[in-house]
Copies of this chain bind each other. A is one copy, B any other.
């Protein structure tokens, strides 16, 4: 809890005085919509979070309040992962989408952003158990600290808590969007498990995994914004598509980073996907373009899980030889482009520009 509080405090310290801070809510939101685009070169995600920083503060407080339980291990374990919680990308998307669509006069967007983060956190807890991960964002993973059993059960609790929050919101359409997303996420995770160690996995199947395990929640996080703002179906669909394409781009870059980042930057162990035999585009692209001898290498290391210390380096060499990381990032760029262009439906403004900037930022993390 203390870590989370300090994160929240950090967010407050980062507040710079901006015009509109003291004007009434509605005028402030209008000002945000009309304000100029963020300074080029600024980290787009920081910029976007800055535009919804009051909402995000409230969202962080909502998260802390709702992960409480008389069973002390629940807030302890939840705080461990929520505090390590990275950039709150998904809740920021919900907050920004709602504000861009003119949502005013309540905290539904804040509560639903917390929901989205709870679903994400529950998924992370279960993912780390399934992958036997020891690191998460540079810290020991919850399963490494508290054990697999606690991670499974606290994940279940956070998932249930997310639904309680949604029910309290009271919109059946929102419940539909988020329960569909939850089912699609689980399907994607199971499909990923099935394709593990299987080099006959097609790029299409890989994309189905990515759409499930990552893009579905990005899409839902964005779609609830226009829904609670009462915007027409075309705008709901546009933000759903934006989120889905952004999520695909994000996951593709993550899959590239697993091979291309240095460990300190990555916050997890480089080559984890390789060691687990997880089928991602860098491997598929290198395998596809490989000679028969190279394919034998992939079959031994990925299909038969027979790996030596030197194999990761050889895998990286083959990926470099065939431009597999570049291919992966090009695909990511394609989906980021789709994400950006889909927002043209919305009037120009600071939030739209920042959301588009996040799409660029997602693919530029590595470059």
Contact = CB atoms under 8 A, between A and B. Distances in A.
Contacts of A74: 187, 190
A207 to B, nearest CB: 14
A156 B70 CA distance: 24
Interface string A40-64: 0000000000000000000000000
Contact of A167 (B126, B159, B176, B189): B176
A153 B130 contact: yes
A153 B71 contact: no
A163 B180 CA distance: 9
Contact of A172 (B72, B123, B129, B170): B170
Given A126-B153, A130-B153, A153-B126, A167 B187 contact: no
B187 A69 contact: yes
A193 interface: yes
A179 B153 contact: no
Given A172-B167, A179-B163, A186 B130 contact: no
A148 B131 CA distance: 11
A149 B164 CA distance: 26
15 contacts: A71-B191, A72-B194, A74-B187, A129-B149, A150-B193, A153-B190, A156-B189, A159-B159, A163-B182, A163-B183, A164-B180, A164-B183, A167-B172, A167-B175, A167-B179
